[in-house]
Amino acid sequence: MNMRYRVLGGTGIEVSHHCLGAMMFGSVANNDHEEGVRIIHRALDAGINFVDTADMYSAGESEQIVGKALKDRRDDVVLATKVHFPLGEGRNRSGNSRRHILNAVEDSLRRLDTDWIDLYQVHRPDYRTDIDETLSVLTDLVREGKIRAFGCSTYPAEEIVEAHHVSMNRGYLRFRTEQPPYSLLARGVERSVLPTAQRLGMGVLVWSPLASGFLSGKHRRGAAAEAFRATLTPERFDESLPGNAAKFEAVEQFAKLADEMGVSLPALAVAFVTTHPGVTSAITGPRTMEQLESLLEGASLVLTDDVLDRIDEIVPPGVDTYDVHGFWKPAALLEVHQRRRPLDQR
């Protein structure tokens, strides 16, 4: 295995092209803290120096597990976490406001048992909060030394551009990274998000390169979906739903291609996303040691142009075969009044 490293968005910080995602650590998937620590240590020993979590993962439990694992290895790790989603009931406990971010960063620092966060990311846009407010507080946190850099996650290209424009005009530091969904089955970000990030010199760490487990090799047409991911979101793996047909057909073709190459489907999937020149690192979120070892086996895989041409034939560039955003929707779609003129103006 040959782990490769890339500079993260002009920050000068070198990160492994595989990033260990910690979403599966904690009550949502694997609540064995000691096993989580062992998985993280194995990843670090294999050359991964980039770990990504979020305050919302298992309501903070993931951050606690990561903090335990990095207790004596903190200086060797680039640590990323995120803020936005609520962790409890009540008002003003979510979003991208100064009030919430200042509270949330202190909670994350405590759970992670660290004095600083290398990359602090805004998990989703917040249409109730002016981007000026968010960039202002993130800039203050960098200057206070609590975070080293900040980025955004799952932002549309136009909002990335707006944020950079506000930073330039107001003298704030800027988003250094974007974290979008990207996989063999979800290539929509190739249209504008990845090119925009490239033009702005941003680092990109992509999430769900295995398409929420669909490219794990365990979900095949005609076979019952019994893997862990299917228990979390069964509708994504239900063959009777018309929207899933294209996914199952593409998976069969990708599995055939992987077999011809003599590699696993997950290895092919991760190698694909790290081939894009705009991608810095791919976040892989193993739940077990076995899953981690499988992913590490493909860390050295390099895809030829012939293979990439075959991939383009199966799922064309810029095409999403499913709704990549899952439970989260932008306010423009959720809020009816944003899509309909008042009666007196129709």
Beta strand spans in the chain (E): 5-7, 14-16, 18-21, 50-52, 78-83, 117-122, 147-153, 177-179, 203-206, 281-284
∠ CA 322-325-331, nearest 5°, is 130
Distance of CA 39 to the CA centre of its chain: 19
One-letter identity of residue 131: I
In the chain, the largest separation of any two C-alpha atoms, in whole Å, equals 66
* DSSP SS3 for 79: strand
- Helix 98-112 with 131-144: angle, nearest 10 deg: 40
Does residue 283 contact residue 151 with C-beta atoms inside 8 Å?
no
Could you tell me which residues come within 8 angstroms of residue 264 by beta carbon, excluding any fewer than 6 positions away? Answer: 217, 258, 294, 297, 298
Spot the catalytic one: 57, 172, 182, 322. Answer: 57
Report the half-sphere exposure of 259 (CA within 13 A, side-chain side): 7
Phi and psi dihedrals of 153, rounded to 5? -135, 130
- 172 is known as an active-site residue: no
Beta carbons within 8 Å of 236's beta carbon, 6+ residues apart: 212, 214, 229, 230, 244, 322
- The helix or strand, by DSSP H or E, that contains position 260, with its residue range, turns out to be helix 245-261
Q: Which residues pair with 177 in a beta bridge?
A: 203
C-alpha to C-alpha distance for 346 and 338, rounded to whole angstroms: 14
User: Could you report how far apart the first and last alpha carbons of the chain are, in Å?
Assistant: 63
| Catalytic center residues | 57
